[in-house]
Amino acid sequence: MKLALCIGINDYPGTENDLSGCRNDADDWAAALIARGFDTRRLLDSAASGAAIRAGIRDLLGRATDGDAVVITYSGHGTWVPDEDGDEPDHRDEALCPHDIAENGPLIDDELHELFALAAPGVRTVLIADSCHSGTLTRLNHPIGDRPGRARFLPPSTFLTPQQRLRASLTTGPRKSRDRASTTVLLAGCRDAEYSYDASFDGRPNGAFTYVALSSLAALPESATYRDWLHAIRGRLPSQDYPQTPALQASKAQLAWPILT
């Protein structure tokens, strides 16, 4: 069994930081996954609340058994929050931004780690994230596409309380770091200290990473592996106009998996 959930959020009410290409990203990932035999559903804009995203991930992982594949794609804003449990060397937890982040907060990496840990042994889990993970909101001056790009980063000041913002600004001493090992493959649009960008190609909004990843995938043979895919993507990103470095977190065995199977 192959199961997929594609999340795309352009609309962020109360933040003044709407995006343009994320719904198209979700549609494009869904089309690619359906073509590979995945039972695929989408969560777009207001349907992609924090509760709905959590429930969607739990549902897929609850249905999957040994030998099955689960793929989650996320296109939208990324952000960070102050690390509360001392497991982050940079004192920040990276996070995804649901549609209702202004009311109910982000989905942090610690919780994602716990959600994916629900997968039964032998289930192949993959998370593809086209979002920023840290930094501040910026714009590109000379994008590759048809119009200026916007970083997919939501400033923490948008949703943190004044007390949380103060704590985030304080310099603290060394923190402990616990084992963050995960059996989930993570393909991300950028490194933690970089930005993923909205772009536009032939007049159609898309994430720069999603566009490159899917067009690179279409040119690869069916036998290609995640290692091959990353190599093809990095042949086009980072670029002078899109200084984002796609990242792949996977074990040696996972690097040799056939893509999206």
- The CA dihedral of 133, 212, 234, 29, to the nearest 10 degrees, is 60
**Do β-strands 69-75 and 124-130 pair in parallel, antiparallel, or remain unpaired?**
parallel
Whole-angstrom Cα distance, residue 234 to residue 246? 7
User: Which residue among the candidates 77, 91, 99, 133 is catalytic per the annotation?
Assistant: 77
Query: Could you confirm whether 132 is annotated as catalytic?
Result: yes
- Which structure tokens are listed for 93? 């937890």
* Own/partner long-range contacts of 95-100 (Cβ < 8 Å, ≥24 apart): 96/53, 96/129, 96/131, 97/9, 97/12, 97/131, 97/154, 98/9, 98/48, 98/49, 98/50, 98/52, 98/53, 99/9, 99/11, 99/12, 99/13, 99/45, 99/46, 99/47, 99/48, 99/49, 100/49, 100/50
Query: Which entry of 6, 97, 132, 190 is annotated as an active-site residue?
Result: 132
Cite the active site residues.
77, 132
